[in-house]
Amino acid sequence: MPSTPRPLRKLGFLTIGLFDEADPRRGHESTLEIIELGERLGFDSAWVRHRHLQYGISSPVAVLAAASQRTRRIELGTAVIPLGWENPLRLAEDLATVDLLSGGRLNPGVSTGPPMHYERVRDALYPDTADAEDFGYERVRRLLDFVRGERATDFSGTEGFEVFSDRVQPHSPGLGRRMWYGGGSLASARWAGEHGMNFLTSSVVKAEGPEGAAEFDFAGIQLSLIRAFRAAHPDGEAARVSQGLVVIPTDSASPGQRAKYEEYAAARLPRTASPQGPGRLLFAPDLVGPADRIAERLSAQAAFREVEEVAFALPFTFEHEDYVQILTDIATKLGPALGWRPAG
């Protein structure tokens, strides 16, 4: 197996936290149990995805607040919070509060762009300001400023019995260094680097080659994002990047589980052949099979060789026991095959 120039230091996982509309508590409880399992297995981080008006986690900060009280070591991240749904000042307050409750373990990941299906939700979300809302990088910059302790108002001091601060309270001093940007384009990678963020790159990138190009190399595009980010970042080659592909090791899976996993990956494979939709999004194939074979495929990938951290994405539609098996194999088989050792 080819060696990796950057040994894998941090191993994480990402879950969407699906639930049944008839019993949403059970789904949220399952997510918390999976995070607890991740800590016991030695994972360095657990990340939750954000879904609005769907049957997945709509309030990841609240879920991670609960997780912070049921774990003691594992880092807790969001991958990602789409800021088009958020007020940056209010979100900064929530993030700082949960970071303090967790003992400095929160890793908030965010992204830009208008909310999904914006024309259908704008009247509910921004009934008076829909046409004036800015969904670009300025929204991220505002959040960063608030999290990092910049002034939010020109007023502070005492008014009657009330004491006011001119910056977001509570303030968590280390949180600003743990802010992540989830991006799939060169512009996003450069912006995140220029503003001192960390960079999340997933199984989706933007195919930015010529419109008529016949072939697109996912790993090559992802590698260009990582290098553009580090070139723009004050920390250069030391700037933090985490890669998040879908990996499904099958070492301890039952025959039925293996068949389900292979069927899942096969159904998603056609979308990896060419850029999809008006955004020209290119998807990475899911990696299914024995851990040693997945490790070989990862180690041969140009972008993987550039990172020291990963947050492998769990498939969206599986059962709790499937996630237990997959996480156990990642921690006990795949991680060690990549040179990782469990925390704690």
| Residue-wise pLDDT tens digits, 208-267 | 854 444 456 899 999 999 999 999 999 999 999 999 999 999 999 999 999 999 999 999
Residue from 143, 151, 150, 153 nearest 87 by CA = 143
Q: Confidence band (pLDDT; 50, 70, 90) for 161?
A: very high
Quick one: average pLDDT of 279-290?
96
Instruction: Write out 191-244 in H/E/C secondary structure.
Output: HHHHCCCEEEECCEEECCCCCCCCCCCHHHHHHHHHHHHHHHCCCHHHCCEEEC
Q: Taking 50 as the threshold, does the pLDDT of residue 181 lie above it?
A: yes
Strand 45-48 relative to strand 10-15, pairing: parallel
Secondary element (H or E) of residue 91: helix 88-102
What residues contact residue 230 under an 8 Å CB cut-off, 6+ apart?
193, 236, 237, 239, 241
The pTM of this model reads 0.95
- List, in order, residues 6 or more apart from 187 with CB less than 8 Å away: none
Superfamily of domain 10-153+166-261+274-337: Luciferase-like domain (3.20.20.30)
- Position 214 scores a pLDDT of 41
Using CA atoms, how far apart are residues 139 and 72, in angstroms rounded to an integer? 32
C-alpha 229, offset from chain centre: 16
- Please give the mean pLDDT across all residues of the chain: 95
pLDDT at 337 exceeding the cut of 50 = yes
As a whole-number percent, the residues of the chain with pLDDT over 70 amount to: 96
Smallest Cα–Cα separation from 205: which of 302, 292, 297? Answer: 302
- Percent of the chain surpassing pLDDT 90: 93
pLDDT band of 104, cuts 50, 70, 90: very high
Average pLDDT of 56-79?
Answer: 98
